[in-house]
Each structure stands twice: as C-alpha cells, then as structure tokens.
Structure 1
Amino acid sequence: MSQEIEIEFKNLLTEVEYDRIYQFLPFKSVELIEQTNYYFEAGDLKLKSHGAALRIRKKNDQWTLTLKQPHEDGLLETHDSLTEEEANLWIQNKMMVKTNVFKQLHELGISIEDLHYLGSLTTRRKEVEYQQTTVVLDHSLYYDKEDYELEVEASSQTAGKKVIREILEACNIPERETDNKIKRFYKAKVQSE
C-alpha cells in the first residue's frame, strides 16, 4: 500500500520573516514549485472529527489523492495516483473509488457518497535540504487570504524540532502555534460564508 508517516514542524511567518529565512538558507538557488490542493469532506464533517483530511494535490502535472490521518509519530498519509480526468471528476463531485485511500476511509466509516468538494488552496513552494531535513518556505493563497509558512520535514521528531528551532532563533522569529493548511483553509472558508 502507498503509505508513509509524515513528521513535520510548522511555523507561520510574516512576509518580512519569510524574506529573512529566504536570505538565511540557499532558497534563491532552487526552483519555485506551484502546487494546488483540492480539499474534500464528508457532509457531517466526519473526516474533521477524526482529525483526518482528504485532498487531491496537483504538482508538476501529477495528480495525487491523499488521506492524512493522525499517527503517534506524525501523520499517516495514504496515497493513490489519479489521472487529470479523474481529478477533474472528483472536483465536480463525481468521485470514483481508489483502492488505498478508500480502504482507510472505510475503516473510518466514510463512504464515497458522503464526500463533497470544498475548494482549493494554491501554494508557491521552495525547498532545500538542510541538516538531513527538508526545509520548506510556503506562500499560500486561498479564498481572500494569503499566508507564509516555514515547514521542516524530518525523519524524527528530535531532528525536526532541533532544525526548526535553530532556524527560527537564527532569524529572530518567535515560535508560533501553527495549524496545518487544511485547518487554515477551513477557518477561511467559514469566515467567507
């Protein structure tokens, strides 16, 4: 099955703080990646109640359906590849079963008929390898909002915490409790309604 444990640490940034980190690490030398997340939910917010999130991500002309679920070490991600045609059908609320993700959804008591499309969030991303972690700067746009975020993806909790704290300290940026993108997207959606 296509699954992985994601261990990541996040910190929201101001635009000025984003620029500080951009100068601190070699982000100028890496390509800008644009990716769009298309979010889905069950009518009774069953995914949210389980702490889970379902999205399709378009990145480099590849479409991936991903279910994120809480895991003791981070997040359990379950993936299925989609064609562009399949992704577009999903966005039109014409979902089709994909093996890996639907096995996990079934375990949560969620069926394909429960799902509906919520909206999208586009991120302009830069990534660099730093001290055996991946350090990411994100500029995200959704509804009438935009935000800036530092992410550190690591192979362990210890390594991730160490690197994010080191970067924040070096750039004189306070640690902030930071919701993940889907939670920020939900808040913006509710505020826009």
Structure 2
Amino acid sequence: MSENLEIEFKTLLTETDYRMIRQAFHLRDQDFHTQTNVYFDNEAHALKNNRMGLRIRLLPTHAQLTLKTPTTNDALLETTDELTLSQAQDYLSNDRLPNFGAVHACLQRYSIDSQTLRSIGKLTTKRAEFKVPEGLLALDENWYGHAHDFELELEVTNYTEGKVMFNRLLSQLSVTYQPAKNKIQRMMEEKNSTL
C-alpha cells in the first residue's frame, strides 16, 4: 500500500507536437511502455459525484489498484494497492474489486461499498516517463473507444512553482497549451458520445 499526493499539470498535444517532444528528449521506442487503465464506479456515480477516480492499471509486470481523492491543496491523494497481473485479471474477469486493503478502507470512509463498483470503461496509454529539472514528465499517446489523443503531463511537488515551471517548459518546447481533462473524464465523454 502507498499513499502520495499528486500535483500535476497537463496539456493535450497535436501529433506534430508529440513527435517534436519525442525528438527533443531523444525518446526511442524502448523508452515507452504500454499500460491499460480500467475505471470503476457504481450506478449512482458515487465516485464521480465525490470527484474521485478508481482504476486498475495493468502494467507489463504487475498491476495497481488506485483510488484518487481530492484534497484541499490543489492535489489529489492517491491510495494504491499493488496487485499481481493474475490478481488484477481475476478481479477484472469477475468485474469485482477486493474487499480488503487500503483502497477498500478508504472507500469505506466515504461510505462507498466496493462491491457495488463495476468497470465503466478503459483507456490504453503508450507512455514514456522520465525526470526533468521541473519534475516527472510523462509523454502519452492514448486510445479509448474510437478516440486517440496525445498528452504531456508534468508531476511536481509544489502547485505554485509547478505551474510556473510547466508554463516555462511549454514555452521552451514551443507548445501551445490545450486544456486536458482527466483521462477518465475523456474516456467517459467519448463513451457517452457513441451511445
């Protein structure tokens, strides 16, 4: 189990910007990994209504169950339980979540029964993640439903300083800021647009 504060800034990218950033940081194919996020909520939208997000993230060698909850200081609290790939696949194939662990305990504090939560969609990302002087930078190519987009994220430890550094980084890269909703929001909007 781990808990950490997530403070991040993000922008959507054009494909041209994505390729330029990839070249600027000398990123090769082997610098990227693929991850799939499967998102959860219940019929009453308890997580969405509480501005929370819950996912199982499938990585090449393991999986993570992560709950994001809002805090009072421009950050999200990430509570994560580590899973093996076989555990994650078992939960996903049964469309159920564990009824134990730190995520389960956190959901209980919000009076949300983890056994009412079901998968609501998924998003696959090809990501390169690396340290830069400003923080942790992630260059993403995302697929969800019929949608495909590109995104740049900077994770920092201080909101005010991070915002300045993110804007400076975009300026240095000659990238125009394009607001980027959270991945779960984009996935749900795309899903609802095709219904």
Taking structure 1 as the reference length, the TM-score comes to 0.92
Superposition pairs of residues 40-79 of structure 1, within 5 angstroms: 40-71=40-71, 72-79=73-80
34-43 vs 90-99, which moves further = 90-99
Verify the 8 A CA contact 1:36 1:57 in the aligned structure 2. yes
Query: 1:74 & 1:183 partners in 2: Cα distance?
Result: 17
Are the structure 2 counterparts of residues 159 and 25 from structure 1 closer, same or farther at C-alpha, using a change threshold of 3 Å?
A: farther
Matched, 1:120 2:122: yes
Matched, 1:176 2:178: yes
Task: Name stretches of at least 5 consecutive residues in structure 1 with no aligned partner.
Answer: none
Superposition pairs of residues 43-192 of structure 1, within 5 angstroms: 43-71=43-71, 72-91=73-92, 92-192=94-194
Verify the 8 A CA contact 1:35 1:58 in the aligned structure 2. yes
Residue 162 of structure 1 and its aligned partner are, at CA, apart by 2.7
Equivalent residue, structure 2, for 1:15: 15
Equivalent residue, structure 2, for 1:26: 26
Verify the 8 A CA contact 2:39 2:54 in the aligned structure 1. yes
Verify the 8 A CA contact 1:131 1:163 in the aligned structure 2. no
Verify the 8 A CA contact 1:30 1:127 in the aligned structure 2. no
Query: 1:12 & 1:88 partners in 2: Cα distance?
Result: 30
Verify the 8 A CA contact 1:52 1:70 in the aligned structure 2. yes
Query: 1:5 & 1:73 partners in 2: Cα distance?
Result: 10
Query: Which secondary structure does the structure 1 equivalent of 2:31 belong to?
Result: coil
Task: Give 1:158's aligned amino acid.
Answer: T
Taking structure 2 as the reference length, the TM-score comes to 0.91
Verify the 8 A CA contact 1:30 1:128 in the aligned structure 2. no
Are the structure 2 counterparts of residues 5 and 59 from structure 1 closer, same or farther at C-alpha, using a change threshold of 3 Å?
A: same
Query: Which secondary structure does the structure 2 equivalent of 1:168 belong to?
Result: helix
Task: Name stretches of at least 5 consecutive residues in structure 2 with no aligned partner.
Answer: none
Query: 2:53 & 2:116 partners in 1: Cα distance?
Result: 14
Verify the 8 A CA contact 2:134 2:165 in the aligned structure 1. no
Query: Which secondary structure does the structure 2 equivalent of 1:7 belong to?
Result: strand
Identical residues among aligned pairs (%): 34
Verify the 8 A CA contact 1:7 1:155 in the aligned structure 2. yes
4-13 vs 79-88, which moves further = 79-88
Query: 2:55 & 2:134 partners in 1: Cα distance?
Result: 27
Query: 1:22 & 1:167 partners in 2: Cα distance?
Result: 14
Are the structure 2 counterparts of residues 82 and 107 from structure 1 closer, same or farther at C-alpha, using a change threshold of 3 Å?
A: same
